[in-house]
Chain A
Amino acid sequence: MARKSRKAGRRHPLATVVLIAIGLVVTGGGYAAFSSTTTASADTSSAASQSVIEEGEKLFASNCATCHGMDLAGTPDGPSLIGVGAAAVNFQVGTGRMPMAMQGPQALQKPAQFTDEQTAAMAAYVASISPGPAIPDESLLQADGDAANGGELFRVNCAMCHNVAGAGGALTEGKFAPELKGVLATHIYEAMLTGPQNMPVFNDDNLSPEDKRDIITYLKYIENNPSPGGNELGSLGPVAEGLFVWIFGLGAIIGLMVWLTAKSN
């Protein structure tokens, strides 16, 4: 369907814009697929070699153990990591949330501090100490599931915090649910599976792996199909629309009114 519209689009002036947008999406998606492939394969090869685990242990000791403890049992500054699994490490470190810059209402997303290999090594180390959710299988991350089922599940399980369009929302005491646009499929999956920070856990009995795949499909669909109505104003709903109409709509009209009633030179 997307290809069809691309062809149709070439005939008119916006073709370039559309082409660039599609190009970006394709490269971005390709890159995302590529980078998640490397992490996943590094870990899911169940015989995660001893050397990788050792490297992970070193990285853990120097970067994580201060808060989480040498034995992963946690300290007053950080929770226990026993049983969190490789998925949690890949999510927390891969999105830059860990290591934390400072204690606050919640760990914030920032540029990842480690390479994919280093992240994978730490994930392998944590998983080797005690088993937990593994990094999801590549086949579930292709955004090729049932977007309608995903949308329905998203509205029931996720939209109250993350907003129906994944624009994010407020939680109590300064915490918030982040925006989901531009988040890698792996990280979305891992977040559902492990329930990072205050997000609840959605285990496979609650949302089956196929359900999670469908949710990712839905999110990627709305990400790749921008609103047919035009700029979404941040998908924030009536507040953004109201501010827009007051500032820009009425603003433009008042400008016209002043011109209209000013005496001509």
Chain B
Amino acid sequence: MSTTIEHSETTDASAPPVRKGGGFTGAAANYLDERTSISGVVKEFGRKIFPDHWSFMLGEVALYSFVVIILSGTFLTFFFQASMVETHYDGSWVPLKGVEMSAAMESALHISFDVRGGLLVRQIHHWAALLFIAAIGLHMLRVFFTGAFRKPRELNWMIGFTLFVLAMAEGFTGYSLPDDLLSGNGLRIIDGLIKGLPVIGTWTSFLLFGGEFPGTQIVGRFYTLHILLLPAILVAALALHLVFVVVHKHTQFAGAGRTEKNVIGYPILPVYAAKAGGFFFLVFGVIVLMASFFTINPIWNYGPYDPSPVSAGTQPDWYIGFADGALRLIPPGLEFVWLNHTWSFNIIIPVVALVLLLLLVAIYPFVEGWVTGDKREHHILDRPRNTPTRTAIGAAGVTFYAGLWAAASSDLVATHFQLSIEGVIHVVQAWVVLGPFLAYFVTKRVCIALMKKDREIVLHGYESGRIVRLPGGEYIEVHEQVDDYERWRLVDYEVYEPIMVRPNAQGKITGAARLRARMSNWFFEDRIAPAQQSELGQGGHGHDDTPGEIEGGKGH
């Protein structure tokens, strides 16, 4: 292993280098190694280095929430009955006494009201699920905006994307299991959505629900998906995801001493184990605290599913919100009968839009890789400002998603801000169409401005705020020069020159080449190159460690 950690003169006094040869630990380790050759694993991974940055922990939040979900979910399976057999409730919640409901709902209420700590575990499970997907989302944004998806990590991005989709599917199937009014109406919407799809819609719905909606099958089927099939795939994909993290070694931000050929940070044993291990308990603790103090999914208020009632404010959990919002935003009248079939564009358009959005997210690394033509490995992360076009694309995507998300709560926005539903919908329609362009433009300009500022700082230092009057009467502001380490952090990035259209080996200019040149131009036309040594020299100060630079104030 190539890990090096210098033990300088300040060796930790509390950790004397004692070799534990004997004792129980030694014997146990020996026993294990003789049967598993585990020492090789420890040698390989025990001192593996992980870089430290707060945003690198987001993936761990997702992982830990998932562990909490598995622990709490397993407990729930011991009590939950995935059956839609009709029964009459006879538990502690008075307003449902004697009410007809499915066994699924009855057992979910039983867990909530008649098993000690059952409600706590139910709430832990649901809060952890919301946190799981939120953490995945934020983790993906971090990976996107820092360019961590570039070679060699494109495939791991795809695996991560798969995990995101699986997590949403897990969430939706779990949300539907209690067979309460809210989730039942959610299922009804899914049923209507599926029926609206051309050609396959009617039969897909028929097969999914085992006959007509709602039928008596769906809870059992979702249960199998929720606790068996989806988790199995999810765990496999998760394992693969983590294997790739080990294979690739973690990325790191630019910084003094950091290169594409090394990774600087703390070793797994002991520091990382303490911090990351402790962090698991912290995430778990936050989830348990939320579950102790805040109600989530009060199915006893919703009551059993019945196709006739509905509650004001019927919404899906947050991660399905973007789909619900997309359905709400479609203007009236987009449904036609053509060729003796019904074309429900009020459903086809949102479904296609969402699939395209997800597809774009999934394949983005390959698109960018093709545009840059860059075949090198990248392990130093981009600061988002240093890749203005990518950051702007991301901002546009986030704006679009946020618009759909906002649309899903249009009724609550209307009541809480005393607006009309129609007004809110119209504003969000405009937002979803125009917002991404605006966000793109503004973000790109802001990034370029920040790059300029960085360049300015590298070349001329920080404005110290200290005003000095020169003997000649002129006022100037003293600039503090940045030190070498900080300067390196600011200049260690690359920009691309746009690709030029050139003929291929046959001397032809293909359409693909043209498209690629155009996209490359779009990506990299506007750029600020990192400062060069010669420019630093021109300024009359390089490494000569002048403490402060004096510069004419008029120039600013």
> Do A and B come into direct contact in the complex, CB within 8 Å?
yes
Check B296 against A229 for contact (C-beta < 8 Å): yes
11 residue pairs A–B, Cβ–Cβ below 8 Å: A155-B309, A160-B312, A174-B420, A176-B415, A221-B94, A221-B95, A229-B294, A236-B412, A244-B290, A249-B134, A257-B61
Q: Which of B99, B278, B295, B301 contacts A164 (CB 8 A)?
A: B301
Chain B 310-330 interface 0/1 with A at a Cβ cutoff of 8 Å (1 = within): 111111111101000000000
Would you call A258 an interface residue if the criterion is a C-beta within 8 Å of the partner chain's C-beta atoms?
A: yes
Q: How many A-B residue pairs lie within 8 Å, measured between CB atoms?
A: 197
Would you call B213 an interface residue if the criterion is a C-beta within 8 Å of the partner chain's C-beta atoms?
A: no
Check A239 against B408 for contact (C-beta < 8 Å): yes
The interface centre, meaning the residue of A150, A176, A249 with most chain B CB atoms within 10 A of its CB, is: A249
B54 to chain A, nearest CB (A): 4
Which residues from chain A contact B95 at a C-beta distance below 8 Å?
147-148, 150-151, 218, 221-222
Q: Which of B306, B418, B420 contacts A173 (CB 8 A)?
A: B420
Q: A229-B295, A238-B182 are in contact. List 19 more A-B contacts (CB 8 A).
A: A151-B96, A155-B181, A155-B311, A159-B310, A159-B312, A160-B310, A164-B182, A174-B423, A221-B94, A228-B112, A228-B295, A230-B294, A230-B295, A231-B293, A236-B313, A237-B182, A245-B290, A249-B127, A249-B131
Task: Identify the closest chain B residue to A166 (Cβ).
Answer: B301
Task: Identify the closest chain A residue to B303 (Cβ).
Answer: A155
Which residues from chain B contact A248 at a C-beta distance below 8 Å?
290
B316 to chain A, nearest CB (A): 6
The interface centre, meaning the residue of A152, A161, A237 with most chain B CB atoms within 10 A of its CB, is: A237
Which residues from chain B contact A235 at a C-beta distance below 8 Å?
298, 301
Would you call A165 an interface residue if the criterion is a C-beta within 8 Å of the partner chain's C-beta atoms?
A: yes
Check A167 against B113 for contact (C-beta < 8 Å): no
A235 to chain B, nearest CB (A): 7
Would you call B381 an interface residue if the criterion is a C-beta within 8 Å of the partner chain's C-beta atoms?
A: no
Chain B 390-414 interface 0/1 with A at a Cβ cutoff of 8 Å (1 = within): 0000000000000000001111101
Give the interface of A toward B (CB within 8 A). 105, 147-148, 150-152, 155-156, 159-165, 167-174, 176-177, 218, 221-222, 227-233, 235-239, 241-246, 248-250, 252-254, 256-258, 260-262
Tell whether A241 pairs with B312 under 8 Å between CB atoms, given A165-B298, A169-B411, A246-B134: no
Which residues from chain A contact B134 at a C-beta distance below 8 Å?
245-246, 249-250
Would you call B421 an interface residue if the criterion is a C-beta within 8 Å of the partner chain's C-beta atoms?
A: yes
Check A261 against B57 for contact (C-beta < 8 Å): yes
Which residues from chain B contact A105 at a C-beta distance below 8 Å?
420
Would you call B52 an interface residue if the criterion is a C-beta within 8 Å of the partner chain's C-beta atoms?
A: yes
Check B130 against A245 for contact (C-beta < 8 Å): yes
Check B94 against A160 for contact (C-beta < 8 Å): no
Check A162 against B131 for contact (C-beta < 8 Å): no
Tell whether A159 pairs with B97 under 8 Å between CB atoms, given A239-B315, A244-B294: no
The interface centre, meaning the residue of A161, A229, A231 with most chain B CB atoms within 10 A of its CB, is: A229
Interface of chain B residues 106 through 122 with chain A (CB within 8 A): 112-113, 119
Q: Which of A148, A161, A238 contacts B312 (CB 8 A)?
A: A161
Would you call B355 an interface residue if the criterion is a C-beta within 8 Å of the partner chain's C-beta atoms?
A: no
**What is the interface residue range for chain B against chain A?**
35 or more
Q: Which of B294, B301, B422 contacts A222 (CB 8 A)?
A: B301
Which residues from chain A contact B318 at a C-beta distance below 8 Å?
238-239, 241-243, 245-246
Interface of chain B residues 123 through 149 with chain A (CB within 8 A): 123, 127, 130-131, 134-135, 138
Q: Which of B57, B98, B313, B418 contacts A237 (CB 8 A)?
A: B313
Which residues from chain A contact B119 at a C-beta distance below 8 Å?
228-229
Task: Identify the closest chain A residue to B279 (Cβ).
Answer: A260
CA distance A16 to B358 in the complex (A): 52
B100 to chain A, nearest CB (A): 9
Which residues from chain B contact A218 at a C-beta distance below 8 Å?
95
Which residues from chain A contact B408 at a C-beta distance below 8 Å?
239
Tell whether A168 pairs with B415 under 8 Å between CB atoms, given A151-B303, A261-B53: yes
Check A260 against B57 for contact (C-beta < 8 Å): yes
Tell whether A261 pairs with B54 under 8 Å between CB atoms, given A176-B414, A228-B119, A256-B279: yes
Check A159 against B311 for contact (C-beta < 8 Å): yes
Tell whether A152 pairs with B94 under 8 Å between CB atoms, given A164-B181, A244-B294: no
CA distance A172 to B423 in the complex (A): 10
CA distance A150 to B283 in the complex (A): 41
B375 to chain A, nearest CB (A): 32
CA distance A213 to B468 in the complex (A): 82
Which residues from chain A contact B96 at a C-beta distance below 8 Å?
148, 151
Would you call B419 an interface residue if the criterion is a C-beta within 8 Å of the partner chain's C-beta atoms?
A: yes
Would you call B242 an interface residue if the criterion is a C-beta within 8 Å of the partner chain's C-beta atoms?
A: no
